[in-house]
């Protein structure tokens, strides 16, 4: 079936073809464990990810808790779900659609046929909760014959606050209408077709009427909920090499872990102590400290201080130890240390960092993954950090308080 937002037989551009509560045919019913209280319910955060038509998913709606694990065998769509989440985050931050989707055809649902105009695309969306209550965002993207955002809908309490649609394919714009509730019920204007309209609303809406202020508040909640996302997939083969001293901000593959340790060990003794405690459980042998050691030529190497003589360089650690160390560091730090773009105009007390970890359990042994899960649950319970991970098997996490497990099948 064609994924054409404007196909007359299909639903409106951004509406899923099934009710929001419906699940993907390839997904078993997600089973949230006891989710634990949000320490600050006023922080905007995502509560649902919708993949109406994306890669292997159709009509899928997944619940998101403070700590969510997508579980299932290879090919079930775990990575696709995380990729869609990251794409929404980058669009919410004002990213251009071509940068967000470098290979858009790979996002088109399997076996999707083009319509009469040779168009194919995909749909993704999410719900953000916060001071404004649940706010829904649904986005339709055309992948072929050219990449563009062709439809968007922002709703709250059943009221459509923003809606866009592609009216003239020859123009590089979409027609937008947003709620005004003044002398005119809506305001209409063109918006570019290469960016998310929700992220542009603060530049277009004056906020003079109650309706406009409602639109701005809902858009801000959605953008704040989406921003500050750190996609992380530690690469042990790169973490073993010495690295130059830099800005101390952790990269996606954690290859510059030594540079980050050089910074964080002196800046935050309490968090560093927590990291050392975590490594005592996750690394073989005695661990008295973890630090970065200068090599004399502008390079740093990460080492474990065993407390009884020579230090052990990270180049000697196993893949599981390295991935465990990197993921523990991510959970114990924040936007100031990770390579993310937090909304600087929003008070830190209202921000939430979301970590996306594909292959969260990759190379970890039973002891390491159990300790990492305990650390993640403890940090997520505080409310300033959330974790969405993908694992091959979540039997070790089922029933753990604070963990929402979404079971997928191919």
Question: What's the half-sphere exposure (Cβ side, CA atoms, 13 Å) at 164?
Answer: 30
| Residue 48 DSSP SS3 | strand
Q: 344 near 326, Cβ under 8 Å?
A: no
Structural contact between residues 142 and 119, judged by C-beta atoms closer than 8 angstroms: yes
Token pair, residue 62, equals 């997944």
Tokens of 273: 């102590």
Measured at the alpha carbon of residue 114, what is the angle toward residues 111 and 116, in degrees to the nearest 5?
150
Rounded Cα–Cα distance for residues 184 and 109 (Å): 39
Q: How many CB atoms lie within 10 A of CB 410?
A: 10
Q: Domain 234-392 is of which CATH architecture? A: 3-Layer(aba) Sandwich (3.40)
For the chain, the structural domain boundaries read 31-228, 234-392
Token representation of residue 58: 């159709």
Buried b (16+ CB within 10 A) or exposed e, 15-37: bbebeeeebbebbeebeebebbe
Task: Quote the pLDDT of residue 6.
Answer: 35
| Tokens 């005592």, located at residue | 280
- Report the pLDDT value the prediction gives residue 193, as an integer from 0 to 100: 97
Q: Are 138 and 14 in contact, with CB atoms under 8 Å apart? A: yes
- 84, 122 Cβ separation under 8 angstroms: no
Pairing label, strands 353-357, 229-232? parallel
* pLDDT at residue number 344: 54
Beta-bridge mates of residue 154:
137, 162
CA distances 407 to 3, 78, 127, 346, Å, are 26, 9, 20, 35
Residues 6+ apart with CB under 8 A from 113: 1, 2, 120
Per residue of the chain (410 residues), what is the pLDDT tens digit?
A: 333 333 333 333 333 333 333 333 344 444 444 334 444 557 899 999 999 999 999 999 999 999 999 999 999 999 999 999 999 999 999 999 999 999 999 999 988 999 988 999 999 999 999 999 999 999 999 999 999 999 999 999 999 999 999 999 999 999 999 999 877 899 999 999 999 999 999 888 888 899 999 999 999 999 999 988 999 999 999 999 999 999 999 999 999 999 999 999 988 889 999 999 999 999 999 999 999 999 988 999 999 999 988 899 999 999 999 999 999 999 998 777 886 665 555 555 556 899 999 999 999 999 999 999 999 999 999 888 999 999 999 999 977 889 999 999 87
Give the H/E segment covering residue 138: strand 135-144
Give one DSSP letter per residue of 256-289, joined into a string.
THHHHHHHHHHH-HHHHHHHHHHHHHHSSS--SE
343 vs 29: CA distance, rounded Å: 34
User: How far apart are alpha carbons 300 and 302 in whole angstroms?
Assistant: 7
pLDDT of residue 12: 33
Which single residue is written with the structure tokens 């409106």? 12
Best CA proximity match to 15, nearest among 210, 155, 130: 155
Q: What per-residue confidence (pLDDT) applies to 149?
A: 98
pLDDT given for residue 27 in this prediction: 41
What confidence score (pLDDT) does residue 26 get? 41
pLDDT at 347: 56
Q: 382 near 15, Cβ under 8 Å?
A: no
* Residue 41 DSSP class: T
The SS3 of residue 216 is helix
Give the pLDDT of residue 348: 56
CA dist., res. 49 & res. 406, Å (int): 11
> Rounded to a whole number, what is the largest CA-CA distance in the chain?
78
pLDDT score at 208: 87
pTM attached to this predicted model: 0.87
Nearest to 197 by CA among 152, 138, 135, 142: 152
- Contact, 109 vs 122, CB < 8 A? yes
- For residue 201, the Cα-to-chain-centroid distance in whole angstroms is 22
CA-nearest of 120, 125, 167, 112 to 145 is 120
Q: What pLDDT does 342 receive? A: 57
pLDDT of residue 228: 87
């Amino acid at each position: 079936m064609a994924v054409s937002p404007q196909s007359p037989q299909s639903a409106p551009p951004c509406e899923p073809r099934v009710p929001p509560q419906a699940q993907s045919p390839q997904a078993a019913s997600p089973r949230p464990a006891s989710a634990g209280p949000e320490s600050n319910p006023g922080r905007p955060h995502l509560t649902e990810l919708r993949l109406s038509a994306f890669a292997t998913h159709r009509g899928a709606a997944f619940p998101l808790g403070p700590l969510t694990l997508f579980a299932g065998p290879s090919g079930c769509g775990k990575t696709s779900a995380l990729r869609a989440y990251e794409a929404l985050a980058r669009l919410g931050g004002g990213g251009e659609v071509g940068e967000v989707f470098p290979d858009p055809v790979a996002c088109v649902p399997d076996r999707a046929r083009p319509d009469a105009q040779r168009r194919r695309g995909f749909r993704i969306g999410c719900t953000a909760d916060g001071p404004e209550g649940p706010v829904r965002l649904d986005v339709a993207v055309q992948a072929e014959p050219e990449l563009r955002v062709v439809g968007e809908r922002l709703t709250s309490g059943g009221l459509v606050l923003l809606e866009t649609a592609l009216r003239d394919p020859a123009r590089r714009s979409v027609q937008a209408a947003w709620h005004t509730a003044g002398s005119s019920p809506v305001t209409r204007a063109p918006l570019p077709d290469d960016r998310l309209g929700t992220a542009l609303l603060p530049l277009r809406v004056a906020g003079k009427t109650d309706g406009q202020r409602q639109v701005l508040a809902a858009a801000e909640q959605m953008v704040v909920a989406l921003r500050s996302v750190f996609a992380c997939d530690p690469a042990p083969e790169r973490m073993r090499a010495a690295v130059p001293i830099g800005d101390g901000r952790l990269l996606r593959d954690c290859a510059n872990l030594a540079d980050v340790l050089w910074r964080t060990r002196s800046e935050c003794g309490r968090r560093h102590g927590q990291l050392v405690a975590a490594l005592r459980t996750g690394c073989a042998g005695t661990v008295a400290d973890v630090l970065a050691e200068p090599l004399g030529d502008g390079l740093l190497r990460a080492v474990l201080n065993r407390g009884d003589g020579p230090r052990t360089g990270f180049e000697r650690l196993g893949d599981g130890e390295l991935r465990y160390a990197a993921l523990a560091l991510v959970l114990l730090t924040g936007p100031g240390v990770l390579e993310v773009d937090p909304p600087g105009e929003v008070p830190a007390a209202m921000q939430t960092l979301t970590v996306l970890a594909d292959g969260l359990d990759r190379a970890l042994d039973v002891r390491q993954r159990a300790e990492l899960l305990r650390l993640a649950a403890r940090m997520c319970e505080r409310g300033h950090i959330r974790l969405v991970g993908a694992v091959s098997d979540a039997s070790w996490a089922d029933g753990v308080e604070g963990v929402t497990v979404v079971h997928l099948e191919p």
